[in-house]
Amino acid sequence: MAADPRSATAVAHANIALVKYWGKRDAGLVLPWTGSLSMTLDAFSTRTTVHLDADEDRVRIDGVPVTGEQYRRVVAFLDLVRAMAGRSGKAGKARVDSWNTVPTGAGLASSASGFAALAVAAAAAHGLDVDPTALSRLARRGSGSASRSVFGGFALWHAGHDDASSYAEPVPSPGFAPAMVIAMVDTGHKSVSSREAMRRTVETSPLYRPWVDSAAEDLAGMLAAVTRGDLDAVGEIAERNALGMHATMLAARPAVRYLSPATVAVLDSVLELRRAGVSAYATMDAGPNVKILCYPEDAGRVAGAASAASAHCSTVVAGLGPSAHLVGRP
Ligand code: DP6
């Protein structure tokens, strides 16, 4: 059995997909239909401590005990880590304490930073010797997008065809460090989870297959654009890929609509900025908030335009963030 350090703390940052993951072909293993590519942010992180000293798994997020489906999801993940460590039964039951600087469940990638931090902390607490690829595969089992938050900067998640081949890896982008302005128009809990929305989309949307087909071209184009540091190409592909993803959900039965009037107002402000010659491009996830890619020197102007577009819009300017990592023992 592995050595037993008993407790560990890890920090992971949110990532925003520039080419989206939307739809699983294997829900149990969390294998996606498409590959995706993201930018890890230096804003919005999760800090998680795992102590292996409990009789039962206990999970708290921001100090509040977690119950129901969310609890079962964390326990299923802890079971995976225990199986990797060769522990079963009561052995290795955990106390998990997680603190978010990102609103939970608001389409701001809390599950990505959350499960990436949990993967790193739980693996370390169990004394597992795992490389970043194995950590990415493990994080993926908790939440698909978490596979990418294991890495800093830009990360490409290979869709793969089985557990071993579905993992993320860093995409080198020498000298390319755009800003991402997060325009938060609503940080409340979303009405339909991304998990349920993507399941419904895959099963019922007539637009899903065409989006999957176009995603391969988007991914190849995005990889090349990030590698050569071409912000306009990155932005154009990111915006069309995200709008296409939302089109697939709008065509689901019943429809899933995350975009609100405030979202559309911010999208209009991005178009206005482009007409004025500013390189600014929008992407949206499973929620109404808008993330705007731009040059760092334009971030203030972009944030101002987004705030002016909608009465309740607040903004955060993010840059490239670090890999998930262990921090000093608690
Ligand atoms: C729209 O990773 O939250 O943010 O695997 O079911 O946990 P699960 O889904 P999740 O979905 C993220 C969807 C997205 C796009 C993306 O991050 O690629």
Domain with residue 143: its CATH number is 3.30.230.10
The residue among 138, 158, 174 that closes a domain is: 174
Question: CA-to-CA distance for 217 and 258, rounded, in angstroms?
Answer: 25
Task: Dump strand ranges (E) for 20-142.
Answer: 24-26, 31-32, 36-51, 58-61, 64-65, 95-100
Question: Is residue 324 a part of any domain in this protein?
Answer: no
Nearest residue (CA) to ligand 1, atom 6:
195
Question: Is residue 330 a part of any domain in this protein?
Answer: no
Do 37 and 154 share a domain, yes or no?
A: yes
Do 192 and 312 share a domain, yes or no?
A: yes
Do 134 and 192 share a domain, yes or no?
A: no
At residue 90, the pLDDT reads 74
Do 125 and 230 share a domain, yes or no?
A: no
At residue 104, the pLDDT reads 60
Q: How many CB atoms lie within 10 A of CB 60?
A: 14
Please provide the average confidence, as pLDDT, over all residues in the chain.
94
How would residue 188 be classed by pLDDT, with cut points 50, 70 and 90?
confident
* pLDDT tens profile 312-327: 899 999 999 999 999 9
The whole domain housing 200 covers: 179-318
How would residue 107 be classed by pLDDT, with cut points 50, 70 and 90?
low
What CATH code is carried by the domain that includes residue 190? 3.30.70.890
Do 124 and 234 share a domain, yes or no?
A: no
The residue among 118, 153, 174 that closes a domain is: 174
Span 117-125, mean pLDDT? 98
The domain tally of the chain equals 2
Question: CA-to-CA distance for 19 and 25, rounded, in angstroms?
Answer: 17
Do 253 and 275 share a domain, yes or no?
A: yes
The closest-lying atom of ligand 1 relative to the alpha carbon of residue 286 is 1
Distance from Cα 80 to the centre of ligand 1, integer Å: 20
The residue among 144, 174, 204 that closes a domain is: 174
For the record, the structure tokens of 100 come out as 């978010």
The closest-lying atom of ligand 1 relative to the alpha carbon of residue 195 is 6
Distance from Cα 31 to the centre of ligand 1, integer Å: 12
Question: Is residue 308 a part of any domain in this protein?
Answer: yes
> Residue 20 pLDDT more than 80?
yes
Question: Is residue 326 a part of any domain in this protein?
Answer: no
pTM of the model: 0.96
Do 203 and 126 share a domain, yes or no?
A: no
Do 167 and 216 share a domain, yes or no?
A: no
Residue 24: beta bridge partners? 32
How would residue 3 be classed by pLDDT, with cut points 50, 70 and 90?
very low
* Probe target for ligand 1 pocket from 16, 19, 21, 138, with the most ligand atoms within 8 Å of CB: 21
DSSP 320: B
* Probe target for ligand 1 pocket from 194, 208, 245, with the most ligand atoms within 8 Å of CB: 194
Do 164 and 184 share a domain, yes or no?
A: no
Distance from Cα 97 to the centre of ligand 1, integer Å: 22
Question: Is residue 323 a part of any domain in this protein?
Answer: no
Question: CA-to-CA distance for 195 and 286, rounded, in angstroms?
Answer: 9
Pocket of ligand 1 (CB under 6 A): 17, 20-22, 30, 36, 111, 143-145, 194-195, 285-286
The closest-lying atom of ligand 1 relative to the alpha carbon of residue 145 is 2
Task: Tell which wins on pLDDT, 249 or 328.
Answer: 249
Do 49 and 158 share a domain, yes or no?
A: yes
Distance from Cα 56 to the centre of ligand 1, integer Å: 29
SS3 191: coil
Do 213 and 164 share a domain, yes or no?
A: no
For the record, the structure tokens of 150 come out as 């294991």
Nearby residues of 123 by Cβ (< 8 Å), 6 or more positions away = 81, 84, 130, 135, 138
Distance from Cα 4 to the centre of ligand 1, integer Å: 32
> Residue 307 pLDDT more than 70?
yes
Distance from Cα 1 to the centre of ligand 1, integer Å: 34
